Copies of this chain bind each other. A is one copy, B any other.
Amino acid sequence: MADKNSNYYIDGILSGNRRILAKTITLIESVLPAHQKLAHDIINKILPFTGKSIRLGITGVPGVGKSTFIETLGLYLIKSGHSVAVLAVDPTSVKSGGSILADKTRMEGLSCKEKGFIRPSPSGGTLGGVARKTRETLLICEAAGFDVVIVETVGVGQSEIAVASMVDFFLVLMLANAGDELQGIKKGILEFADAIAINKADGDNIEKANKAKNVYENAFDLLSHIVLNSRPKVVTCSAIEGSGIENLWNIVLENHKKLGVSGELLIKRNVQSVKWMYELIEDGLKEKFYNTPEVKTMLPKLISDIEAGRIAPNIAAYNLLFFLDKTN
């Protein structure tokens, strides 16, 4: 693939060529240095054509109906004239062998649409690696003309924070579980949520969902004094029946408009971008350090020495750092 120059890919992306878009993403996901170099060149050159989409992050535990929700929302958006790319951050995919969005039967309707584009989570190993590739893919999709980019993640570890830090709006899908409506919101997620949607609000479930909505809203009233910067909106919806989807999208749109007019959107994205640069730098420094053969050999011994009280943590750290300084 590296035999084509970056202009080939850029022209393809900007003209909305699906095949070339997919090939570019494959370059981004490749570990080969030549592919990486080409991918960087492409990303830098398409930069002026990015930034025009609404970036929507969606999370929710397995069973919450995430695929159906994204399918329903995506089809609604396409019907309303939008074009929609769906990406995924799933650091578990490398372990489980599976991957969210990898299952071909998922989002069948959306994937057949000309204005829909679905890309499974890259099996990138670390969360940092997966998140990086997804961020780069997001930019490519924007340049290809998608005006809504949805980034989904499973409710695992730090992946929500990674997704929240690359989108304009972060949505948490939940279920109304009678008896314990509040469990299932993971520690820390609320800080990032712009909205909570209680899904499967259909049939016998409607009443339960409305009750859960009240419980959440009351909790957020209380929480907004303690741990939240702003209060997430709470809505109910049924992805299967399609109810509540338009209402939810209007909340996203309204928020986007508000942030756009006030200039907060640009600030938010700039803060995300600069933070992203720092993250990449620091990941790079750590990767290089911890992959040094001598560090790899010394580290386990130092950790067991710390745990046995044979060496102070600061001495262990300075030994490693000083050792590396000497070898450089």
> Which residues of chain A have a CB within 8 Å of any CB of chain B?
40, 43-44, 47-48, 50-51, 132, 135-136, 139, 180, 182-183, 185, 187-188, 190-191, 219, 222-223, 225-229, 270, 273-274, 276-278, 280-282, 284-286, 288-289, 302-303, 306-307, 309-318, 320-321, 325, 328
Contact = CB atoms under 8 A, between A and B. Distances in A.
Contacts of A135: 314
Contact of A182 (B182, B188, B226, B310): B226
20 contacts: A40-B312, A40-B318, A44-B311, A44-B315, A47-B309, A136-B312, A183-B225, A187-B226, A223-B223, A270-B307, A273-B306, A274-B306, A276-B317, A277-B302, A277-B303, A277-B317, A280-B313, A281-B317, A284-B317, A284-B321
Given A182-B226, A227-B227, A306-B277, A311 B47 contact: yes
- Majority SS at the chain A contact face: helix
Q: How many copies does the complex hold?
A: 2
Which of A183, A228, A273, A286 has the most chain B CB atoms closer than 10 A to its own CB? A273
A225 B180 contact: yes
A225 B182 contact: yes
A321 B47 contact: no
Contacts of A228: 187
A191 B182 contact: no
A190 B226 contact: yes
A183 B180 CA distance: 26
A74 to B, nearest CB: 27
A251 B316 CA distance: 34
B312 A139 contact: yes
B276 A314 contact: yes
B43 A315 contact: yes
A322 to B, nearest CB: 9
